[in-house]
Structure 1
Amino acid sequence: MTQTPRIGVILGSTRDSRFGLAPAEWIVARAKARGDWDVDLIDLKDHPLPLFNEMASNLWMPSEDPAAVKWQQTLAQYDGFIFVTPEYNHSITAVLKNALDQAYLEWNHKAFGIVGYGGVGAARAAEHLRAIGIELQMASTRSAVHIGGGDFFSVHPMGGDPKPIESLEASIGGSADAMLSELDWWTRATMAARRENAAKAA
């Protein structure tokens, strides 16, 4: 564990026609602009995972699939996460749920924030994601970024003449700053707690 928080921004859609790369790159740039984090974009397209097929979660026994083990090793490098997700049928994407299921210990006692996009700003997906995070022993920020309604259609290509996401500063800039600030607090708190637990176990 490093002293400088390492934050992984997980892009939770892998569709060829996905819109998610735009908000993912936007929040990565905003997070890096803080100057006090190391930030990486983690694109699930770069981590093809089979559907979960282990005997049990790696809470109970080591995973056998090499792709799952590699995914766990990737997650272990980070102190906190930002999930960028659309909403599919009132929930997160299947590929994101599978990625969450393919690890357990590597999520534990880490914080996360959410950037959601879609007609209702992925509000229902965000609430489902928070419930999953609790089961993974994670801490969610209260604030989240929801790119929805007219804002969403103004920056999405199917709107006809999409504007850059930066054009939504008045609508979503404040919530982004609040989410990042809360994520910083929770990430540093959980880092300190993990260091203390590791020292006690040594």
Structure 2
Amino acid sequence: MPHKLAIIIGSTRPGRVGPSVAEWFVNAARDHGAFDITLVDLKDLDLPLLDEAAHPSKQQYEHEHTKRWSAIVEDADAFVFVTPEYDYFAPAALVNAVQCLAKEWQYKPAGVVSYGGVSGGLRSTQTLRLLLANLDMHPLKDSVSVQFVAKHITEGVFTPPEHAPGAAATMLDELEKWTGALSSLRS
């Protein structure tokens, strides 16, 4: 039975390109074949800013949107965050979504597909890794970074740069290894 991979679109801004980058990565992950894949768009979840009274570690959720998000994260064995870089940081909507929960993330690996301008979103990746590690996740060192993402989108379709498919395959291989290794800690 394949492990469950949630691919999460981290930007909710109007005019975002995250869905087209995510769609490419979903196809790359399907071609890889190691995971049962779910695509999650934070825009569809529409999570308010930290609106639960109890700390997330207590898992005493009052709101249906948090319960729904908790179930999605709990069900997944691994994650890939598809994220831009906003002001040298991960998007606020993504940080909020991660911080809404606590225990659901534990002992699960995570990869990052980042995109942006000259940095390709790498600073966003670094800040996200720090947050994830503090939630007892295992953020992978391998990632996919796309510089000057606008050059790779034509009529809403993302065409990856030459290095991206190989980087995606490497990250997915590592994600598969870590998902299997960490599964015993979750049982």
Tell me the TM-score normalised to structure 1 length: 0.86
Structural mapping, 1:1-202, within 5 Å: 3-119=1-117, 120-149=119-148, 152-156=149-153, 164-166=158-160, 168=161, 170-195=162-187
Separation in 2 of the partners of 1:89 and 1:75?
A: 27
Deviations 1:96-144 (A, max 9, x none): 1110011111111100000000011111000000000011110011110
Conserved in 1, the CA contact under 8 Å of 2:4 and 2:37?
yes
Separation in 1 of the partners of 2:78 and 2:158?
A: 27
**Pairwise CA distance, 1:164:** 4.0
Hey, which bits of structure 1, 4+ residues long, moved more than 2 A? 53-58, 161-164
Conserved in 2, the CA contact under 8 Å of 1:85 and 1:114?
yes
Separation in 1 of the partners of 2:181 and 2:81?
A: 19
Structure 2: runs of 5+ lacking an equivalent: none
The structure with the greater share of residues assigned to strand is 2
Conserved in 2, the CA contact under 8 Å of 1:12 and 1:96?
yes
Percent identity between matched residues is 34
Separation in 1 of the partners of 2:142 and 2:34?
A: 20
**Pairwise CA distance, 1:32:** 1.0
Separation in 1 of the partners of 2:174 and 2:122?
A: 18
**Pairwise CA distance, 1:33:** 1.1
Structure 1: runs of 5+ lacking an equivalent: 196-202
Higher RCO (Cα < 8 Å, 6 or more apart): 2
Tell me the TM-score normalised to structure 2 length: 0.93
Q: How many residues align?
A: 186
Separation in 2 of the partners of 1:58 and 1:123?
A: 28
Q: Secondary structure at the match of 1:51?
A: coil
Q: Secondary structure at the match of 2:97?
A: helix
Structure number with larger C-alpha Rg? 1
Separation in 1 of the partners of 2:23 and 2:44?
A: 15
Conserved in 1, the CA contact under 8 Å of 2:28 and 2:165?
no
